Amino acid sequence: MAELPAAVTDTHALLFHAAASRALGRRAAAHFEACERQQALAYVPMAVIWEVSLLSRASRVNLRRPVRDFFEDLFSNPSYHPIDLSAEQVFVADELRFTRDPFDALIVAAARSIDLPLLTRDADIRASGTVRVLW
């Protein structure tokens, strides 16, 4: 089978996509559009799922349904897949020294664990060179 474009999503990238926001970068938007057409893959780290739930609780985002239902809707599209958190990801996150944000560290570690680029606008992640960035 031919390889499909694949990437890991950061929290804000997924939320911009779900909100149909223009804040999404051009390349990230193209990737999500390909996912909607089921012509690309987007992987969602556990840290992203948790961060979305916390942002919903803090009223920074209105999912219009429970967080469980939001992700069930997302994963009903076979282009989107959750990435289970592993002990190895936690070890990699611990070894990253460019950020003190635990969510960013776990998200970068998830992208590294499956050797895929990360959809993010985060300048610190880009500057760190720890993972390839698409935005």
Contact residues for other proteins (CB under 8 A)?
A: 1, 3-4, 11-12, 15-21, 23, 36, 38, 41, 51, 54-55, 57-64, 70, 73-74, 76-79, 81, 101, 103
Handedness of CA 117, 118, 120, 121 (dihedral sign): negative
In the complex, least distance from residue 57 CB atom to other proteins, rounded to whole angstroms: 7
Asked if 130 and 98 touch (Cβ cutoff 8 Å), the reply is: yes
In the complex, least distance from residue 64 CB atom to other proteins, rounded to whole angstroms: 6
d(CA 130, CA 69): 33
In the bound state with other proteins, the residue whose beta carbon lies nearer, of 60 and 68, is 60
| 49 Cβ contact partners less than 8 Å away, ≥ 6 residues apart | 67, 71, 82
In the bound state with other proteins, the residue whose beta carbon lies nearer, of 46 and 101, is 101
In the complex, least distance from residue 127 CB atom to other proteins, rounded to whole angstroms: 17
